[in-house]
Amino acid sequence: MGILSELIKGLRVTGGIMIRTIAGNELVTTEYPKEMRVKPQRFHGRHVLNRYPDGMEKCIGCELCAGACPAQCIYVRGEDNDPDNPKSPGERFGYVYEINMLRCIFCGLCVEACPTEAITMTHLFEFSTTNREDAIYTKETLLMDRRGSVPHMFPDDELVDLDELDSADGWVRATAPSGVAAYQGIEMWQGTPGPGDWSPEPTQEERDRLSRDRTSDG
């Protein structure tokens, strides 16, 4: 009798979840790729090389990211800026910048190492290629355009959703000790790619309110 009642109890739980799922309230699947799940704020996706608001490249070709990379998948070469037409505010700029995405383990250490926040990671995660060569992202692919949008490896591909690039959230900044009260209101994050808009992190109260709003909407 004990086993039977436990079985019925278990079936009630399973049945309840099944009914709620069928009714659509607790669906956990999404129709990828038509529909994308919202990724965690600190999701480590493909890299991007940033610019300053005036269009200058942030990378100064110092190679610290390459030195920090445990997978040794970054190759950088710096070159002196032309004083009359500098590419970056420093003496040097990143002349060659490559990341071999087949080796990358998306640890984010390159982001941590970068002194100018030139290299950051987005929420973009679709990397499939048909040959190994295309998995090596060059500066041309990594450097954001002057509107602040991330370039796409294959813009002509009919499956590509270029709009996604404009909202590739998750501008992971090097030092973002989220949750430390002392950092509230200090510019730490940028929600979407763009060269200049570094809005402050929301306060804990704002986060709580947003979380409550999301829960009540859902």
CB of 191 to ligand SF4, least distance (A): 21
Q: Which amino acid is at 138?
A: T
- The C-alpha angle 197, 169, 135, rounded to 5 degrees, equals 115
Q: How far is the CB of 186 from ligand SF4 (least distance, A)?
A: 21
Q: Are strands 74-80 and 92-100 parallel, antiparallel or unpaired?
A: antiparallel
Q: Output the smallest distance, CB 62 to ligand SF4, in A.
A: 4
Q: How far is the CB of 115 from ligand SF4 (least distance, A)?
A: 6
99: nearest Cα among 59, 65, 56, 54: 65
| Token couple for 149 | 């949008």
Binding to ligand SF4 by residue 48, rule CB under 6 A?
Answer: no
With CB under 6 A, what is the number of residues at the site for ligand SF4?
28
Tell me: does residue 94 bind ligand SF4 (CB under 6 A). Answer: yes
C-alpha 199/C-alpha 169 separation (Å) is 13
Of 194 and 202, which CB lies nearer to ligand SF4 in the complex structure? 194
Which residue's CB is nearer to ligand SF4, number 52 or number 207? 52
* CA–CA separation, 104 and 71 (whole Å): 6
Identify which of 215, 164, 171, 211 has the alpha carbon closest to the alpha carbon of residue 191.
171
In which residue are the tokens 């990379």 written? 69
Q: x/- site string to ligand SF4, residues 68 to 87, per CB under 6 A?
A: xxxx-xx-x-----------
Task: Give 36 or 71: the residue with its C-beta nearer to ligand SF4.
Answer: 71
DSSP 206: H
> What is the contact surface with ligand SF4 in residues (CB under 6 A)?
59-65, 68-71, 73-74, 76, 94, 99, 104-110, 113-114, 116, 118-119
